[in-house]
Amino acid sequence: MLRMPRLFPSLLVARSRTRTAASWRTPISCIILAVLFLSSSGAASSAAAQKALHIFFVDVEGGQATLFVTPAGQSLLIDTGWPGNDGRDADRIVAAAKKAGIRKIDYVVITHFHSDHVGGLPQLAARIPIGTVIDHGDNRESTDAPTVQGWQAYQELLAAKKFKRLTVKPGDSLPISSTSVDGLQATAVSADGAVIDHPLPGAGQENASCNNTEAYPADQTENVRSVGTLITFGKLRILDLGDLTRDKETELVCPRNKLGAIDIYIVSHHGWSQSSSPALLNAIAPRVAIMDNGANKGGTPSVWDIIEKSPRLENLWQLHYSDEGGAAHNVAAEFIANPEGPDAGNYLELTAWPNGRFDVWNPRAAKRIHYPAR
C-alpha cells in the first residue's frame, strides 16, 4: 500500500523523458505534471510514514496485548490476552498484525503467568509464527489453578518447539534492540520480583513525592514478577510494567527515580488500585497514558484520579468505558475505544516518529490527536 506512490512517479518520469518540450504545453501534460507532483508528495509522506513506529493496543477485555511494529518491520508483542472464547483474543492480535503488514511476531514478552497475559499464547501460536518468547523465569504462583494451566500450556508449546525461550533479568536489553536497525531499544527494568539497581541513562533524580509514600504490602502473586519494559524510539520513551504492583514501583522510583520521565505510559495492571502509585506517576510524569482496562476490570476511580492529576499529562485514553468509574471517572467518549454497550473489540493505535512526535488514533470515534515533539 505504501510502495505504490514511490513506483508511480518514477514511471511517469520515465515516460515524460520521451516527450518533446513543446508537448508539455498540452493540457494532458499539465495533468501528468499535477499527478507527478501529487504522487511525489505521496512518496515523501509515505517515506515519513515508513520511519514510524506503530503500536496497537488490542482490546482483550481487561487483559493485555500490545503490539509494537518498528519501521523495519520487526515486531514485539507484550502479552497475549485471555484463553478460551474461541480464540477471540488471538484473532484480535492477528488482525492487528495484518493491519501492520507483518506475517510473523518476532518477540513476545510474557510479563507474568496470569491467564489474562499468557492465556492467549497457545491460540496465537496456532495462528501466526512466533520467533522468541521472553519471560521472567518459571511461574512462582503454584496455588492458582488458571496460572498453573497457563504455565503448563507454555511448557507444552516450548516442548513442541513452537518458538524459542529467553529469560531476562533487570537491566537486560531485549534482543529486538540488536536486530532493529531503526533505533528502537527495549530494556527490562523489572523481572521476577527484582528491579534495576542503577538509574537508566539520564534518570536518577530525587523524587520528592516519595516522602509521602505509603508502605505498600508486598504482593505475593505473579504480578510482582512482571517483566517491566522501557522502550526508547529516538527521543520517545515508552513504559510498560505489566501488572507490577506499588511495592515494586516504589523500588523503581524511590528515593531516586531510576526510570526518568516517560512520554507514553501503558497503564499498569489495567488501571487497578494495586498499581500506579502517586510516587510512580509523579516520577514518570507521562504526556499520554493508555489504559487497557475492561468494562469491569481495572479502571479504578482512585487510579484514574492519580493518572489524571499527574504533572505533565495531556491525555488519558481508555480501551473501555469503566463501569466502576461512572460519569466522574471516565474520559470523554472520543478517547475511549469501546464505549458502554456490547463489546466490539475496538483498538487504539499510536504512531510515533523518532523526533518525539506521535499520534494517537481511535478508529471507532475517528478521533486522532497529534502530539508535537517536546
Using CB under 5 A as the criterion, which residues of the chain lie in contact with Zn ion when the complex forms? Answer: 116, 243
Cβ at position 66, least distance to Zn ion in Å: 12
* Closest CB to Zn ion among residues 245, 346: 245
Q: Taking a C-beta distance cutoff of 8 angstroms, is the pair 196, 171 a contact?
A: yes
- CA torsion 323→329→334→337, rounded to 10°? -40
Cβ at position 142, least distance to Zn ion in Å: 18
Dihedral angle sign, alpha carbons of residues 149, 147, 132, 80 = positive
Cβ at position 114, least distance to Zn ion in Å: 5
Cβ at position 111, least distance to Zn ion in Å: 8
Phi first, then psi, for residue 294 (nearest 5°) are: -105, 180
Q: Give the residue from 253, 338, 221, 258 showing the smallest Cα distance to 291.
A: 338
* Closest CB to Zn ion among residues 61, 116: 116
Q: How far is 360 from 344, CA to CA, in rounded Å?
A: 19
Element (H, E) at 165: strand 164-167
Looking only at Cα atoms, what is the longest distance across the chain? Answer: 84
* Closest CB to Zn ion among residues 240, 243: 243
Phi first, then psi, for residue 117 (nearest 5°) are: -120, -45
The grid coordinates of residue 83 equal 484463553
One-letter amino acid at 365 equals: A
* Closest CB to Zn ion among residues 243, 263: 243
Cβ at position 198, least distance to Zn ion in Å: 28
Element (H, E) at 34: helix 27-50
Dihedral angle sign, alpha carbons of residues 138, 142, 148, 150 = negative
* Closest CB to Zn ion among residues 260, 325: 325
Q: Give the residue from 308, 313, 373, 317 showing the smallest Cα distance to 349.
A: 317
Cβ at position 223, least distance to Zn ion in Å: 7
Cβ at position 205, least distance to Zn ion in Å: 30
Tell me the β-bridge partners of 237.
Answer: 232
Cβ at position 298, least distance to Zn ion in Å: 8
Q: Taking a C-beta distance cutoff of 8 angstroms, is the pair 242, 228 a contact?
A: yes
* Closest CB to Zn ion among residues 257, 275: 275
Cβ at position 79, least distance to Zn ion in Å: 8
* Closest CB to Zn ion among residues 106, 116: 116
* Closest CB to Zn ion among residues 347, 353: 347
* Closest CB to Zn ion among residues 116, 172: 116
Q: How far is 206 from 255, CA to CA, in rounded Å?
A: 6
Q: In what order do the strands lie in the sheet with 130-135?
A: 164-167, 130-135, 105-109, 75-78, 66-69, 53-57, 348-352, 358-362, 367-371
